[in-house]
Amino acid sequence: MANQLLDQLMIGQDLTEEQMMIYMNEIMSGEKCDAEIASFLTALKIKGESIHEIVAGAKVLRAKALPINLQDSETLDTCGTGGDSSGTYNISTAVAIVASAAGVSVVKHGNRSVSSKCGCADVLEACGVKIDLNPEQVKTCVDELQIGFLFAPTFHSAMRHVGPTRKALGFRTIFNMLGPLANPANAKSQVIGVFDKALTDTFARVLQALGVQKAMVVHGKDGLDEITVTDETFVSELRDGMIISYTIKPEDYGISRSTLEELQGGDAIENAQILKQVLSGEIIGPKRDILVLNAGAALYIADKVIDIHEGIELAKKIIDSGLAISKLEAFVAKTQEFR
């Protein structure tokens, strides 16, 4: 089976969804050695991962994940593939807090840093959030506060079977794409940033196949896996079973263009400070601009507002009223109860 699949990949032939699911299941069950995993991931990378292969991989990861059953099925996740090497502060984490403060149920799924100075788990932990909660504890947070954090190592223990191989390979593999697609809570709305323009449409189609109802997949022309304020952003939006692609420019929303340098963060301690200051309204300028633009998009995808313009205005009100920083403080306090 393994040799047949490798031969198929090496001549540039896509695997069927069934073939991919069978082999991925064997990998995630610990049935394949490091050499077999490395050969498979490399051949898949060289060929280029198809939509069916990505869908199959995401289905296997979701099936292997620790389950979590929430009262509110209409949840939102905001995340990115990472890998943009931009060094910005944790924008999608700030967006999750603002969206929750606006009344959206958010289940943020993430991990510690892999390719950046500070991942979403790192910054939340530096803010005081207890990140390694079990499903029942996360459920309590979402039910009571409309926000929860799903720490990937807790919910995706099967990933331990591929960790050493991924590290040894040192290049992006399909697993860099699967993280944002494998939210254990099966969030029905998602805003996902991707590291390549070509992936915006691909991810939208994958999300559609996975049953996500509404999604926005974004890639900044400057390389950011966010809606950027330095240049235009390429977007593929999934809504009502249809996918449309378009571009967003910051000036379309009354936002002045800035530079990547003005969006920079640092390590977890530094980014936690930035996060608190931008959520409390202390920081204005580009760091706030990129937050309200991305939060506006998230509120739109979550059907809290009719368009991004309205979403931006709501995000500003949430920040300026103190609701955003209060939400972060309440989240920290709630998770600390589980010590």
CA distance 135 to 99: 21
Q: pLDDT value at position 112?
A: 85
DSSP for 85-145 reads ---B--HHHHHHHHHHHTT-EEEEEE-S-SSSS--HHHHHHHHT------HHHHHHHHHHH
Asked if the structure places residue 301 within a domain, the reply is: yes
Strand order through the sheet with 214-220:
147-151, 105-110, 75-80, 189-193, 214-220, 233-239, 242-248
Residues 299 and 150 in one domain: yes
**Pairing status of strand 233-239 against strand 214-220:** antiparallel
**Pairing status of strand 147-151 against strand 189-193:** unpaired
Residue 59, judged by CB atoms within 10 A of its CB (0-12, 13-18, 19+), counts as: buried
Q: Nearest 5°: phi and psi at 162?
A: -115, -10
DSSP for 245-307 reads EEEE-GGGGT-----GGGGB--SHHHHHHHHHHHHHT---SHHHHHHHHHHHHHHHHTTSSSS
- Which residues are CB-contacts of 43 (< 8 A; sequence separation ≥ 6)? 6, 9, 10
Domain that holds residue 35: 2-64
Whether 118 contacts 268, CB under 8 Å: yes
- Which residues are CB-contacts of 80 (< 8 A; sequence separation ≥ 6)? 92, 180, 192, 193, 194, 195, 225, 226
Whether 148 contacts 108, CB under 8 Å: yes
Q: 15, 43, 64: which is the final residue of a domain?
A: 64
Asked if the structure places residue 22 within a domain, the reply is: yes
Residues 144 and 238 in one domain: yes
Residues 19 and 137 in one domain: no
Q: Other CB atoms closer than 10 Å to residue 9's CB: what's the count? A: 21
Q: Nearest 5°: phi and psi at 150?
A: -100, 105
Q: Hey, what amino acid is at 276?
A: K
CA distance 233 to 228: 6
How many distinct structural domains can be found in the chain?
2
* Predicted model pTM: 0.95
Q: pLDDT value at position 47?
A: 97
CATH number at residue 37: 1.20.970.10
Residues 146 and 11 in one domain: no
Residues 59 and 108 in one domain: no
Per-residue pLDDT of the chain in tens (339 residues, 90 and over written 9): 678 899 899 999 999 999 999 999 999 999 999 999 999 999 999 999 999 999 999 999 999 999 998 877 789 999 888 765 678 999 999 999 999 999 999 999 988 876 567 889 999 999 999 999 999 999 999 999 999 999 999 999 999 999 899 989 988 899 989 989 999 998 999 999 999 999 999 999 999 999 999 999 999 999 999 999 999 999 999 999 999 999 999 999 999 999 999 999 999 999 999 999 999 999 999 999 999 999 999 999 999 999 999 999 999 999 999 999 999 999 999 999 997
CA distance 81 to 95: 16
Q: Other CB atoms closer than 10 Å to residue 251's CB: what's the count? A: 10
Asked if the structure places residue 34 within a domain, the reply is: yes
Residues 34 and 98 in one domain: no
Asked if the structure places residue 167 within a domain, the reply is: no
Q: SS3 of 310, please? A: helix
Tell me how far apart the 2 most distant CA atoms of the chain are, in Å.
Answer: 60
Whether 14 contacts 53, CB under 8 Å: yes
- Which residues are CB-contacts of 160 (< 8 A; sequence separation ≥ 6)? none
Residues 92 and 121 in one domain: yes
